[in-house]
Structures are given as C-alpha cells and as structure tokens.
Chain A
Amino acid sequence: MYRYVIRRTGLMFVMLVILSIVTFLLFNAVPTDPAALTCGKSCSPAIIEANRIKLGLDQPLYMQYIEWIRGIFFGRTYGSGSQTFECSKPCLGYSFRNGTEVTELITNALPVTFFLAIGAFTLWMTAGIASGIYAAKKRGQWQDRAIMGVTLVGYSLPVFFVGLLLLIFVVVRWNLLPYPDYVSPTKDIVGFLQTMILPWIALAILYAAYYTRLTRTQMLETLGEDFIRTARAKGLPERVVVRKHAFRAGLTPIVTSAGLDLAGLLGGAVITEYIFSLPGLGRVAIGAVTEYDLPTITAVTLVAAVFVIIANLVVDLLYMAIDPRVRL
C-alpha cells in the first residue's frame, strides 16, 4: 500500500512538471510580444526594450521557463545594476498591468474563492445527497418524479442564469439583501454572510442537481444487492440499512466527483464571481484576460490546475479509506 502511495505521489509530481511546461508554453509562446504588453498604448520602443531585459524576456523560451520555476521555489530578482526588483518566493511573476507581484494578487484572491467553494460545497453535498437518498427510497412515486424533474431543470439552466436571476430578484426587486460587496469574515461576519449567501445558493443549485441524480443512481444500484436483503433480514432498522450499508457501498463515485468539482471551484468560479463581483481567483483571471496580463493568466491557470492534480491524488487515496475492497 505504501508503495502505491509513493508511486502515485511521484506520478503527481511528473504531472505537475508537464502541467507547468504546458501552461507556460500556452501563454508565453504566443504571436503577441509579451514585452510590448508591459506598458500602455503610448509606449516608446526604448521602454519596451528596457522592460524586456528587466523581465528576462530577451532570454530564449526554455531559459524563461527555468527562471520562472526557479522563482517559484527560490524567488528571483528582476533587472540588474541599480534598478533591481526583488520578488520573494514563491514568485509567480510580475504583473506590469497591476504594478504588483502576481503572488500577491493570488494570495489576496484565494481566501474569497476558498470561502465561496467551501460554502457552496457544503450546501450542495448536503442537499444533493439527502434528496438523492430520499428519491431512491421513494423510487417511482411522485416524490421521486418531482425531485428528478426539478434536478433536470436545475442542470439544464446555463451557469450565469441562476446567479443573475437570484441577484435580480433578491437584491434588486425585493431588496432582501444589500448589493454584494465582499468583506473579510474576520472584519464583518454579517456583511460577509450577506454577500456570500446568494453565490453559495447559485452554485449549489447547479451542483446539487447533479449530485442528487448521482446519489439516486448509486442508491438504486446498491439497494438491489444481496447484502441489503441480508441486513434487512437480520432486523436492522431501515435507517441503518440505508446509511451504513447502501449509501456507504455506493459512495465511491460520489467522492470522485466531489473531489474534482471542489478542486475545480477552488481554481475560481469564474461566472459566479463575475456576477456577484467577488474579488476571487475567477475575477483575477477575467481581469487578466481582458487586459492581456500574461504573467497573471499563466499563474492563475497553473494554480487552478495544481488544485485539480492534487485532488486527483487525494481522491485516489480516499478510495482505500472508503472502500475496503480496494486492495492496492
């Protein structure tokens, strides 16, 4: 088992290296000149050349990549002589458009995205699993049909639509909540909750629909197994049969999806953050794309992808904990 964990972790690092190379090439081997993007439209060729040397963009591409990776682990110094600029580790680059280190942009945005993802995750997992189990228990009855109908509409709606509708109704029309304006939970917990509740619900509606269907399918499959009949035959209460035997046995695909979805959200819920003007990773990304801020786009993509790769590993390792039949 330990050998499996070590091998799997090793593979993850290989994936990370490949991922960083692909990300770097995707955004830096572009037809546009990255140095020309460092200053505005009224920009002299002299400044562009100076910035090119300052940022190390005059180096060949593979050297730029090595410098970039070195910066992440050891920090790096831009420029030379009197005009040096220190970027401490982990240095993901320097955003000329914002005049800050990319690392700072990301560390400022990460908590927002983190709170958004965790809150929505808790909501949709609770709602999705509960209604999925309920629908499976009432299979074929009107409750089951009603839940399945609602979830079908739920996951048929475009992502931006639910959020916009919530915003228009709850905030603009009914004035139930103030217009979303993010504050840190340590500063103003009430304001934080008032801002986050709608994005949480908007995200949770979409995901809960999927998890309800997934849970229901899994439950229907395991409820038909022989060991469920055995559990019932030995007189276990139905509650225990459903929770400890049926649900537990069908948990694996739910955990797989949950891990990857959560990781995907940690990389920035672009649409939801955009609608509710939350200053998270998704907003940073959109801003960087519209301003063509290459170092920031590269960094956000890398961070988001790293979350997914790590989640892949965690999910794989969780299999062993969930399903004792998995022998590795």
Chain B
Amino acid sequence: MTVLNNLDADASLVAQPAIIGRSLRQIAWLRLRHDKVAMVSLAVLLFIILIAAFGPLISKLIGVDPYDFNSDLISDNGGLPNGKWGGVSLAHPLGVEPLTGRDILARLLYGSRISLLIAGSATIITVVIGTIVGIVAGNSRGKLDSFLSRFMDVTIAFPLLLVIIAMSPVLEQRIQALGVPAGNPSRVTTVILVLSVFGWPYLARIVRGQVLSLREREFIEAAISIGSNNRRIIFKELLPNLWAPILVYTTILMPALIGAEATLAYLGISVLPPTPTWGSMLEESVGYFTVDPFYFFVPLTMLLAAVLSFNLLGDALRDALDPKSGRT
C-alpha cells in the first residue's frame, strides 16, 4: 500500500505542468480561436445568417416591405430617389430603388434568404454526393472505381455554365411535372439541382484521392484484421480522416455557389422578379452605378462580405487543420 501511495505522490510531482492530450479537432479549434481573421469572418457569417433567418421579422419591425412601390419617394423625371444617398431616411435606412421606390433594406434581407438558401442547399447536396461517391470509388478497387472515375471525368469535361443554362428549362419542366408549383418554387429547385448535379465530381475526386492513400495505411489494415465490416471501416475509420479536406472544400464551395447564383441571376435564369437575390439586386443596380451609386454598393457590400468571409475562413481552416504546421 505504502509503495503504491508513494508512486502516486511521485506521479503527481512529475505531472506538475499538466500535459493534456489533445485531439486534432481540439488543436484545430484552438488554432482557429487564436486566428483573428478567422474569428471576424465567423462573426460576419453568423451575422449574415441571422439577419437572413430573421429577415421578415426585422423588416416588419422597421416597417419596410420588399415589394411595396413608393412612387412618392422618387423624382418624377428620371425616376431617381429623392434626397441624398439614394433616398436614405429613417423610414428607409438603406434608401429606395430608382424607378420603383422599393425599400432596399427589405429587399436585401429577403434577397439574403434566397441567396443563402440556394447556395447552402446546393453546397449540402454537393458535399453529400461528392463524399459518398468519392468514398465508394476510392474504397472499391477495380471496375466500380474506374467506372465512377470515368463518369466524373466526363461530367467535369462538360462546359458547366453552358449545360446549366441549356438544361435549366428542360429540368424545370420535369420538376413541375413532379408537382412542384410553377414559378419560384420550381425555379429555386432547378437552380439548386443544376448547381449540385454538375458540382459534385470536383469534391468526389478529392475525396477519392484521399481514400486511395488512406486505405493503404496500417490502421485500415488493422481494422480489416480484427474483422471490421465495410460499414465500420467507412464510418469509423475513413470518415474521421476525411472531414478536414471536406470542411475546407465546403467553405470554398459556398462562396463559389453564391457567385454562381449571382451569375445565373445576371443571365435571368435564377429566381423570377420581383423576388430579390443578391445577384439580381447587383445586376439591376449596376446600370445605375453612375447616377445612384449607393443603390449599387449595398448588394455589392453584402455579397463581398459573405464571399470574402467564407474564403478567409476557408484559408484559416486549411492552416488550422494542417497537421504539418507547428502545433500550439
């Protein structure tokens, strides 16, 4: 007994500067918390997501509506907003649109919802399909792998924007035939689908490459030798090692899809007017750049803030998750 007690005492002496075992996840989070840029980006993103989520509520509280025409607030000749700064007033904190006099703040809030809904859903679908196909291809040797890889090659070879533009009307008809109401519900579904259907092979390639190198490692061999089935290997052994690249890719994908939606809005194949998105607001306001610059800066600032924050967060995540960079 005494010997054991002594040992305990010794151990407590030695372990004075407590060495805490940290998982990779904890290390990454610790690094991220010390990264000021990452934290600011995260705060900006949370803010944008919150105002998008509570957009209708905020609009109601301020008393603005995205679809109300205010012809009394715009000048009779030329249709530009009355007053400086594009008609900024207490009732309309971000001014009103030229020609229609619709409130810009309300349109921005409602637009954020649709932009984030489209980009977010497309990101989730892309990541899920990309991860599943990537793991299946990488984990299965032989015919299935080469079939899936060739399939990805062919999909990637297609001119993305062209096929999206060409397929959208056809796909929309099919979606309406399935019972989705015509107009914006079917439009939004179409945009989400085309963006994800042609977007997943890029992630699947990355995941497949990772799986190819992971499956030769000792711990997979160990898992096989203790009789783990395929499901256990995929979910318990492979996936935990894949989440770092997938997470980084997700943060890069999201801003790319926000930009893609804006581009589709510019070409007129995203949501139908008068429903706003960041892209459609930017597209409408660009023409007024010289006469009503404030109108144009509002959606631009919002879009840039979201896209930049995602990109910066992605960079920070890549650094934080990289096991090669020095541990803190």
Contact = CB atoms under 8 A, between A and B. Distances in A.
Given A271-B266, A282-B162, A309-B157, 9 more contacts: A153-B308, A158-B279, A161-B262, A300-B162, A301-B158, A301-B159, A304-B158, A308-B159, A312-B157
21 contacts: A19-B154, A153-B304, A153-B308, A155-B311, A156-B255, A157-B259, A158-B262, A158-B263, A158-B266, A158-B303, A159-B263, A161-B286, A173-B290, A264-B159, A270-B161, A271-B263, A271-B267, A285-B162, A285-B166, A292-B169, A301-B166
Please give me the 3 A-B residue pairs with the lowest Cβ-Cβ distance, nearest first: A304-B159, A156-B307, A158-B262
With a 10 A CB-CB cut-off, give which of B158, B262, B304, B307 has the most chain A CB atoms.
B158
B182 interface: no
A231 interface: no
Nearest to B300: A161
A37 to B, nearest CB: 12
Contacts of B161: 270-271
Contact of B162 (A152, A160, A270): A270
B91 interface: no
A168 B296 CA distance: 13
Given A15-B154, A18-B150, A31 B263 contact: no
A165 interface: yes
Contact of A312 (B153, B163, B167, B290): B153
Contacts, number: 105
Given A31-B170, A152-B308, A15 B157 contact: yes
Interface in B251-268: 255, 259, 262-263, 266-267
Contacts of B150: 15, 18
A300 B163 CA distance: 10
A319 interface: no
B286 A19 contact: no
Contacts of A27: 166
Contacts of A168: 286-287, 289-290
Interface of A: 15, 18-19, 22-23, 26-27, 30-32, 152-153, 155-161, 164-165, 168, 172-173, 264, 267-268, 270-271, 274, 282, 285-286, 288-289, 292, 297, 300-301, 304-305, 308-309, 312
Interface string B205-245: 00000000000000000000000000000000000000000
A193 B144 CA distance: 51
Interface residues of B, number: 38
B177 to A, nearest CB: 8
Nearest to A266: B159
Nearest to B165: A289
Contact of A152 (B262, B282, B312): B312
B292 interface: no
B173 interface: yes
A271 B300 CA distance: 18
B156 interface: yes
Contacts of B159: 264, 267-268, 301, 304-305, 308
A92 B16 CA distance: 79
A69 to B, nearest CB: 17
Given A156-B308, A160-B266, A161-B282, A267 B259 contact: no
Contacts of A164: 286
B225 to A, nearest CB: 33
Contacts of A172: 290
Given A31-B173, A152-B308, A156-B307, A308 B156 contact: yes
Contacts of B177: 31
Contacts of B262: 158, 160-161
Interface centre among A270, A282, A312 (most CB of B within 10 A): A270
B174 interface: yes
B157 A289 contact: no
A282 to B, nearest CB: 8
Q: Which of the listed residues B161, B167, B289, B300 has the most CB atoms from chain A within 10 Å of its own CB? A: B161
B283 interface: yes
A26 B165 CA distance: 13
Nearest to A155: B311
Interface string B166-196: 1101100110010000000000000000000
Contacts of A155: 311
A309 B162 CA distance: 16
Nearest to B261: A158
B116 to A, nearest CB: 15
Contacts of A32: 170, 173
A164 B289 CA distance: 10
A285 B165 contact: yes
Nearest to B307: A156
A31 B174 contact: yes
A57 B265 CA distance: 34
Interface in B12-30: none
Contacts of B153: 15, 312
B303 to A, nearest CB: 7
Nearest to A288: B166
B286 A274 contact: no
Nearest to A286: B165
Contacts of A22: 154
Given A173-B290, A274-B267, A300-B162, A18 B283 contact: no
B166 A158 contact: no
Contacts of A309: 157
A322 to B, nearest CB: 20
Contact of B311 (A152, A267, A268): A152
Contacts of B158: 23, 301, 304-305, 308
A285 B170 CA distance: 16
Contacts of A268: 159, 162
A158 B282 contact: yes
A165 B290 CA distance: 10
A304 B166 CA distance: 14
A226 to B, nearest CB: 16
B166 A305 contact: no
